[in-house]
Structure 1
Amino acid sequence: MRFYKTCLFCNKQLVGRTDKKFCDPQCKSGYQYQQAKEQPERFYNKVDNQLKLNRKLLKEFNKGGKVTVRARTLKEKGFSPKFFTHYWKNNKGDVYLFIYEYGFLKREEHHIEKYILIKWQDYML
């Protein structure tokens, strides 16, 4: 008695070994891609991706070492101030949040939310 199985990706009838699951490597790859896409992204990946995006944006906007940028501008590009790697508190008591070597401080001027962007310095140890 012969059991007929179908490819898990394209549903074509399989010919060959009895434990075969896919008709060719392309179907196997397509199936694995589809499965990965359907599974919820792991928490670690979400955090890591957001940290990378935050760092990229801070680096892109901070060309002069210390810059002030409207918060809305960064947030429109995907920046999230909830994700940071560490912080530094200056002598005035201001707490700068850092994403690796790029930091930001939230300020409000004339009812407009802004971020002061800085880069890590040796004296901040």
Structure 2
Amino acid sequence: MKFYNECLYCNKELKGRIDKKFCDPQCKSAYQYQQAKEQPERFYNKVDNQLKLNRRLLKNFNKAGKATIRAEQLLTQGFNPNFFTHYWKNTKGDVYLFVYEYGFMKRAEHNIDKYILIQWQDYMVK
């Protein structure tokens, strides 16, 4: 077992128990925060953060329930179409990708890439 003579965060001399690592709870918290920042972001967190960003962007650009937006507008704000939760295929065969309750489908109109945005409806249940 390793014993510490000084705080792992601020290097102050420790008083009290011989197995003590930090001088106070603030140093312990700051040390743990520092350690977490130095470690690479976990895969789950990357996916979750991207899904949250995608959902927020789709929600902001789709106030009326259906909208069309240039792909460039979404992509420059961090939207990544490779992150979605499920899909829905309409009767015409068009496939909409969904991020929770907000869906999107890429279309090219007049050589400009656009996304058609929709909101999940009850009739879309399989």
Task: Identify the TM-score tier after normalising by the shorter chain.
Answer: over 0.9
Q: Deviations over 1:28-66 (max 9, x none)?
A: 110010011111111111111111111111111001111
Q: Percent identity?
A: 78
Q: Tell me what 1:77 maps to.
A: 77
Q: Tell me what 2:64 maps to.
A: 64
1:6-17 alignment, distance < 5 Å: 6-17=6-17
* 1:28 lines up with 2:28 in the alignment: yes
* 1:51 lines up with 2:36 in the alignment: no
* 1:104 lines up with 2:104 in the alignment: yes
SS of corresponding position for 1:41:
coil
RMSD: 1.3
* 1:119 lines up with 2:119 in the alignment: yes
Q: Which segments of 5 or more consecutive residues in structure 1 lack a partner in the other structure?
A: none
Q: Which segments of 5 or more consecutive residues in structure 2 lack a partner in the other structure?
A: none
CA distance in 2 between counterparts of 1:4 and 1:112 reads 63
CA distance in 2 between counterparts of 1:88 and 1:4 reads 58
Residues matched between the structures, number? 123
Provide runs of 4+ in structure 1 moved above 6 Å. Answer: none
